[in-house]
């Protein structure tokens, strides 16, 4: 479904491909220790929704859309959409663990997508939409395993989780036009029909928990 809507805008955005890929959305949050930041990379379907939500959280410095888990260097969005490169659409999050924990990030991750769906999220079908957590070392792998067990046991998503655990190797930032895509295009058909409702549920739930940065969540 998302690929269909992307075809409508790809003609106008083709000049973005191949340009320098930069972090474009960083949260200026008070009391964040820039010397104590950590990173986590995972995929939970379309990265537009995941990136937008994580950028609203207290303690998150940046959430960047991109690609991981494939075998081709510098993949383009069009290549990833074919499924031939092996990449997943992912978001790489830079955060301060003194403000938001790995476990809290996992809670958000499992809130935003259905981890029981294999190689799809709703009408978005393909290995690029798989549920996956990329870990950097054995300690992080163990934390991810515990997070999966905890979420699965909660019964939020009935059924067996199919979330992959994969050794992190490389993160490739997506094209510039994907960064902050929902905020720039809230009325785009896919955004208004699919992304927007998810974001509203996210804001209600985690806003009530006091986890949102009020400046970015407005």
User: Can you tell me which residue has the tokens 């959305």?
Assistant: 25
Q: Tell me, rounded to whole angstroms, the distance of Cα 20 from its chain centroid.
A: 21
Calculate ∠ Cα 151-106-85, nearest 5°.
105
Tokens representing residue 168 in the block: 């992190």
From 150, 176, 154, 126, select the one nearest 16 (Cα to Cα).
176
- DSSP class of residue 165 equals E
From 77, 89, 115, select the one nearest 171 (Cα to Cα).
89
In contact, 3 and 81? CB cutoff 8 Å: yes
In contact, 157 and 35? CB cutoff 8 Å: no
How many other C-beta atoms can be found within 10 angstroms of the C-beta atom of residue 214?
Answer: 9
CB neighbour list of residue 14: distance below 8 Å, 6 or more residues apart: none
Catalytic residue, chosen from 46, 49, 53, 81, is 46
Burial 9-19 (b: 16+ CB within 10 A, else e): eeeeeeebeee
In contact, 49 and 199? CB cutoff 8 Å: yes
Whether 46 is a known active-site residue: answer yes
Catalytic residue numbers read: 46
């Amino acid at each position: 479904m998302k690929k269909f809507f992307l075809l409508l805008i790809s003609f106008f955005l083709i000049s973005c491909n191949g340009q320098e890929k930069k972090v474009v959305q960083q949260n200026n949050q008070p009391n964040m220790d820039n010397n104590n930041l950590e990173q986590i990379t995972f995929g939970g379907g379309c990265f537009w929704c995941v990136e937008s939500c994580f950028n609203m959280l207290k303690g998150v410095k940046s959430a960047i859309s991109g690609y991981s888990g494939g075998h081709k260097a510098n993949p383009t969005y069009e290549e990833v959409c074919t499924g031939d490169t092996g990449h997943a659409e992912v978001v790489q999050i830079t955060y301060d663990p003194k403000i938001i924990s790995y476990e809290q990030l996992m809670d958000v991750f499992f809130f935003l997508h259905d981890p029981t769906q294999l190689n799809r999220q709703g009408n978005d079908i393909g290995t690029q939409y798989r549920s996956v957590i990329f870990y950097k070392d054995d300690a992080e792998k163990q934390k991810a395993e515990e997070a999966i067990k905890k979420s699965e046991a909660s019964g939020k998503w009935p059924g067996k989780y199919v979330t992959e655990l994969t050794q992190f190797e490389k993160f490739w930032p997506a094209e510039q036009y994907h960064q902050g895509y929902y905020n720039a295009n809230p009325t785009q058909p896919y955004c208004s029909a699919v992304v927007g409702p998810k974001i509203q549920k996210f804001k209600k739930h985690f806003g009530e928990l006091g986890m949102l940065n009020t400046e970015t969540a407005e």
